[in-house]
Structures are given as structure tokens and as C-alpha cells.
Amino acid sequence: MKVAVAGTGYVGLVTGVALAHIGHNVTCVDVDKEKVEKMKNGISPIYEQDLEELMLKNKDRLDYTLDYKNAYKDADVIIIGVGTPEREDGSANLDYVHSVCDQIAESLEKDCVVVLKSTVPIGTNDEIEKDLNDKVKDGIKVYVASNPEFLAQGTAVHDTLYASRIVVGTEDDFAANIMQKLYEPLTKEPYNVPYLHTSRRSAEMIKYASNDFLALKISYINEIANLCKKLGANIEEVTKGMGYDSRIGNKFLKAGIGYGGSCFPKDTKALHWLGQIEGVELETIQACISVNKKQKLVLLHELIDDFGGSIEGKTIAVLGLTFKPGTDDLRDAPSIDNISMLLDYGANVKAYDPISTESFKKKINFKLTDDGVKGTIAFFDNIDETIKDADATMIMTEWPEVVNYNVKQYKKLMKTPRVYDGRNCYKLEDMKDITYSSIGR
């Protein structure tokens, strides 16, 4: 099939490459000339395991372009994978989706199935289908399908090819048949992905309900971890005991300093906003949002208390900047809030990340130009230099480089060996000679 993909972020590019890998001819469309040139040269604009390898392997079935008219005009399927960031009120910003739809309507020269992979409020697919059919040339029919993604950054390629399920929502046989044909190779060996066909609104809700449930699970276990720490229980032993219960499972029960990334923060806020609009107060989701906001800073407040309420002039090392290992994504990463506050309180920050230092510099630049900031920040390319002469170390991301680090170096290199571990990277018995604080232990 001839497939066009709008947007080359985590969703769009991974989807496009995966579809090419199972035999379709795919054109990936983006508005960024520099990104398109990179992809033409086999370079992925995002850090994602196995992605460049598959781009190279399937280069004969992949194209990258700025020319949306040529890409969309005779496509059998057009997949929309652009971002839907949150607005100030928590609602989803659909401007990028509507912009792509306008381009599709302008370009189409044949009947087509338009697929929304972007996470959108329930009912959006209905509105998009009506809008597209109002705008396309006479004699052309557009069918819209909802096809939410369930990939995790860092494992996105595997999560697409060996997905837990493929969910497709349609309201007509034409779109249903095309979508089944599109994904048929993934339902067979060696992938064997379950295929679920639903109504469009159910498909839209499955995405939000799934993400928000996982966010709830994380927030719940973080609250239990905070209580464990107060009562002398060990959250890792607690979660191990919980995980044996098949009704609960052991996924998303790792305590830490909160969730971040491109999905959970905005999707919890978007569903809560949607509930309010519809007169349904989603109190569990509101609590989840509140818990996560507090959890991001739980170790920072402990650190400040340990220094008698002031860290002005103290040197604080921060290990890990991305919201999770295996990705270069900084969206809603706990490191941003923590480092911003460290700088506000007058601390001198030494930061390390194996992937995202340059991106973080751009993120934090607004803070460095703030007249009220008392502290400074410097970046290093190894852990030894980062922690050298530091008064305390904060661990924000469980990169393998951090997890496998020789913990004896903390005592050897730091001015005062204090480690505040937001990801429970180390065994308690290995940290006996160090002032060590972790989550729920």
C-alpha cells in the first residue's frame, strides 16, 4: 500500500519505518528542512534504539519530504502523527492536527483513509472526518480511522512491531477493510499482534484510559513509597510482594521521583479537562496529577532540609537529565524542575547526561537569563568529573552509566558523600559508607 505519514517525531517516524519494514511504501512528511535532510541521509532526528538500523534496511521503501502535496495526493492511507501538546487549561492543542488536515484536503486526488495516531479528545475523529469531507474536491471521499499508539520511548520500535495490541476504530466497512489490510502482516508470524476493531470513540478512549491508568499506578506506588520510608518498610520488598498478584501485576510499580515524557503529563490533564467539560469530575486523575507534581521535588526538599534549610553556594551534582533512560526526550523531565529550583536557591549545579546535554542547555537557558537566579550550572561528559568536589549528588535518570557506576567513587571524589537517588539505582548494602537517600527505602 502507498502510505504517507504526517510528522516525524516518536510516533510518526517510528510508525512510518515500521510500516515500511512490513512491506508498505511510505513517505514521511515534515515541515523541518533540516530534519528531512538528515533522514534522507539515514540519520534519525530522535534517539531511539534500532530506528536508524531499520531506516537503512528499508530505505528502498522509505522517502522523506517537505512536499506534502505530492505525498498526500494519491496515498491509500495518510497517518497523522503530529503532536497534541497541552494548553494552559490542560486541554489538548489540536492546531497541528488541523493544519495537517487542511493540507490533506488541499492535496487529495482520490478516496483515502486518514488515520489519527495522535492522542486526541474523544469525538475528534468525527469532527475531522466531517471537516475533511467538507473541504476536499468534489467526488472525493475521506474515511477517518482512530488508531492510537501504545509505544514507550526508548523501546518504540519493538513496541510497534511487537505491540501489546493494535486498536483501530472506524465507522464504516471501507476504512475497516483498509486498516485490516494495512496491519495484516503484524497479526501474523513472527509478530502475532492482537488486532482489536472498535468504534472510533472507543478507540480514542482506550488510549486515554490506558495511559491514565498507568500514570495512576505510578502515582499510587510513589505515595506508598513515601509512607514506607517514614515507617521503615522497603518499597522494593512491598512491590515484589504485590507483583505476584496477577490482578495487580509487577509493571509500573517502580517507585521514583515521578513520571515525565510526552504522554502521561499531558494525557492526564487532557482527560481531567474533558471530564470537567462533560460534568464528570475525575477525582482519581486529579489526585494523580497532584501527587506527581509533588513527587518530582520530594528529594530536593529532603536535601535542603539536610543542609539546614539553605543550599546557597553548595555544589550539587545532577546525574541524568532525560525523563527516562534510552531516550533523548526532556519533556516534563524531573531534572528540569529540580535544577531550576537548585539555581533559584543559589546552588552551583554540575550536570551529566550521556545523550541530552545540548538539548538541556536550550531548555534551561530561560532560567540562566533570569535576573533572580543566584546559582550557576556547568555540564560534564563523565560521572567522575560531575561529582568531583560536590556537596551532594542527585540522581534523576537511571541510565546504565549511573546504575553500573562504581559507588566507591562517591566517597572518594565528593566533598561530602551525600547521594539522593530518585531512581533507586543502588542496593542499600552497597551504600553503607555514604549518606544515601532513596525513594521508599
Catalytic residues: 263
Instruction: State pLDDT tens for residues 191-216.
Output: 999 999 999 999 999 999 999 999 99
Question: Which CATH class, in words, describes the domain spanning 2-198?
Answer: alpha beta
Residue 153's pLDDT is what? 87
Q: Do domains 207-294 and 296-437 have the same CATH topology?
A: no
Strand 62-65's sheet: what is its strand order? 62-65, 25-29, 2-6, 77-80, 112-116, 142-146, 166-169, 195-198
pLDDT at 136 over 70: yes
CA angle, 152 as apex, 148 and 155 as ends, to 5°? 125
Average pLDDT value for residue range 322-338: 94
Residue 373's pLDDT is what? 79
Q: Check: CB of residue 40 under 8 Å from CB of residue 3.
A: no
Question: Which CATH class, in words, describes the domain spanning 207-294?
Answer: mainly alpha
What are phi and psi for residue 438, nearest 5 degrees?
-130, -170
Average pLDDT value for residue range 149-171: 95
Confidence band (pLDDT; 50, 70, 90) for 409? very high
Residue 390 CA: distances (Å) to CA of 34, 246, 282, 313, 398:
39, 44, 44, 11, 19
- What does the alpha-carbon distance between residue 68 and residue 73 come to, in Å, rounded to a whole number? 8
Which residue reads 489538548 in cell numbers?
A: 92
Instruction: State pLDDT tens for residues 353-400.
Output: 999 999 999 888 766 777 777 899 999 999 999 999 999 999 999 999
Q: Check: CB of residue 97 under 8 Å from CB of residue 116.
A: yes
Average pLDDT value for residue range 222-229: 98
- Dihedral sign computed on CA atoms, order 19, 20, 25, 29: positive
Average pLDDT value for residue range 324-350: 95
Domain ranges of the chain: 2-198, 207-294, 296-437
Residue 368's pLDDT is what? 72
Instruction: State pLDDT tens for residues 258-296.
Output: 999 989 999 999 999 999 999 999 999 999 999 999 999
Residue 424 CA: distances (Å) to CA of 225, 229, 259, 322, 406:
11, 13, 14, 16, 15
Average pLDDT value for residue range 100-120: 97
What are phi and psi for residue 311, nearest 5 degrees?
-120, 15
Domain 296-437: CATH architecture, name and number where available: 3-Layer(aba) Sandwich (3.40)
Average pLDDT value for residue range 98-104: 97
Residue 366's pLDDT is what? 67
Residue 206's pLDDT is what? 98
Across the chain, what does the average pLDDT equal? 96
Confidence band (pLDDT; 50, 70, 90) for 106? very high
pLDDT at 43 over 70: yes
Residue 109's pLDDT is what? 97
Residue 364's pLDDT is what? 84
Residue 262's pLDDT is what? 84
What are phi and psi for residue 201, nearest 5 degrees?
-65, -35
Stated pTM of the model: 0.92
pLDDT at 78 over 80: yes
